[in-house]
Amino acid sequence: TLRTLNAFLSTAQEIEVGLSFIASGSARPLKVLEPIDDTVERIAGLVFGVMVATGVIAVALGPVSAIGLGLLAAALAVWALSKRGHAGLPRRLAWYGGFLGLALPLALVVSE
């Protein structure tokens, strides 16, 4: 996983090579991996955020689609009972209801 790769790169960066003959010195040759480690850490955070958002959307989809189907039913009722032809309100309700009640659940099913 990305978190495991991040931990491995962080550990590899800390490897220190030392030399002492007349003077002593040390170097960290794998310190060049730091930009890669930072990128992996950012991507792991982004993937976690996307997973949380997907979970919230999956949980909220039931009530949202029920509201959408209710809007669609209300639009059909207003359209059926209206004798004056209120074309604007039922059409708008039907669009919102169709999007929330049909298009969003269908998009989730297709994406899986």
Amino acid present at 69: L
Backbone phi and psi for residue 95, each to the nearest 5 degrees, phi listed first: -65, -50
| pLDDT 10s digits, 7-65 | 888 888 887 877 777 777 777 777 788 888 899 999 999 999 999 988 888 888 889 89
pTM check: above 0.75: no
- Tell me the two tokens of residue 57: 């959307």
Amino acid present at 94: A
SS3 content of the chain, % helix, strand, coil (to 5): 80, 5, 15
**Nearest partner of 6 among 31, 36, 30, judged by Cα:** 36
Q: Tell me which residue range forms the domain holding 32.
A: 2-111
| pLDDT 10s digits, 66-111 | 999 998 898 888 888 876 666 677 788 888 898 888 888 888 888 8
CA distance 102 to 91: 15
Answer yes or no: are the C-beta atoms of 29 and 70 closer than 8 Å. no
Count: domains in the chain: 1
